[in-house]
Amino acid sequence: MIKLKNGRAKAYIAMFLLPAVLVYLLFQIVPLVAAVYFSFMDWNGIGGSALTFVGVKNYINAFHDADFLLSLQNMLKMVFFSVLFHTPVALLLAVAINTRCKGYRAFKTLFFVPTVFPLTSVGLMWYFVFMPTGFFNALLKNMGLDNLAGPWLVNQSTAINTIIFVNIWAGIGYYMVILLAGLTTIPDELYEAASIDGATSVSKFFHITIPMLKSTISMCILMDIIGSVKVFDLVFAMTGGGPNGLTNLPTTLMYNEAFKYSHYGLGSAIGIIILVICLAATLGSNLIMSRKGDPQEG
């Protein structure tokens, strides 16, 4: 083995890290700093146009904009139902597959397949399913349920709920695989000992499986919250934020303000607000989980 002096070893480490650091700076830090800078400016996004410093005006305008407030409501709804269904359903599927019943490999593949496809293609696929002349309405009519058929992505009472359903469908397989990996770390001896003591399958699930997967479940919930806040592809592909902006999320509204309406400063401000929400969700989740993990004093 070749031994290097301390200084030379550090130089080699820095040399190998440099390309990754440069890529991170170029595609992460620089755009972030630029977004913060432009969020305090009035600019239409065209290089030759003048930049005018407006301070926090863009942030104030965002929170006084009815479309932005509606997008925040849609985002909260997306987060709530995603967390409500993703991890619990994924956990049940993971437990079922982990029993290695007949055909479990096929079921695991079937549930994981939606995760492989880009969300844009998933959104387009479901757009053709739920469009007025799409598969879902045709199925309802063939079943004699014509009264239930409707414009699912145009009706203001169903549009955002349809997108939330697709987001839940697309993400369950991803969290199922994570939880399935966590199940493999639980020693079989715990279940065998519980069986000897007469524990039922339900009792083992609540007293062994869930406590042993606590950290994995916490990670899934945190990832789900951040992922739901950042959803863009599905809305952009299925409705584009319509009808009349009723299905906009902060991400799609940010895109429209910056690149469609040339309000680059306002779009940057919305982007920074999204970043702050993600950071707050991360810190809040970590704080809650750390408190739950602390031993209770008598």
Could you tell me where the beta strands, DSSP code E, fall in the chain? 41-42, 52-53
- Phi and psi at 5, nearest 5°, equal -65, 155
- Would you say residue 25 lies in a domain? no
pLDDT of the residue at 292: 59
Domain count, the chain: 1
The closest of 151, 122, 146, 120 to 134, measured between CA atoms, is: 151
- CATH code of 201's domain: 1.10.3720.10
The string of pLDDT tens digits covering residues 68-86 is 999 999 999 999 999 999 9
- Would you say residue 178 lies in a domain? yes
pLDDT of the residue at 295: 42
The string of pLDDT tens digits covering residues 99-144 is 877 777 787 778 788 888 888 899 999 999 998 888 999 999 888 8
pLDDT of the residue at 297: 42
- Phi and psi at 70, nearest 5°, equal -65, -40
Q: Which two tokens stand for residue 139?
A: 């199925």
- Would you say residue 15 lies in a domain? no
pLDDT of the residue at 298: 37
Q: How far apart are the first and last CA of the chain?
A: 55
**Structural domain harbouring 123:** 64-293
Q: Which residues contact 33 (CB under 8 A, 6 or more apart)?
A: none
Q: What percentage of the chain has pLDDT greater than the value 90?
A: 46
Q: Which two tokens stand for residue 83?
A: 């967390």
- Would you say residue 69 lies in a domain? yes
Q: Is the pLDDT of residue 4 over 80?
A: no
Q: What is the DSSP letter of 100?
A: T
* Secondary structure (DSSP) of 135-161: HHHHHHHHTT-GGG---TTTSTTTHHH
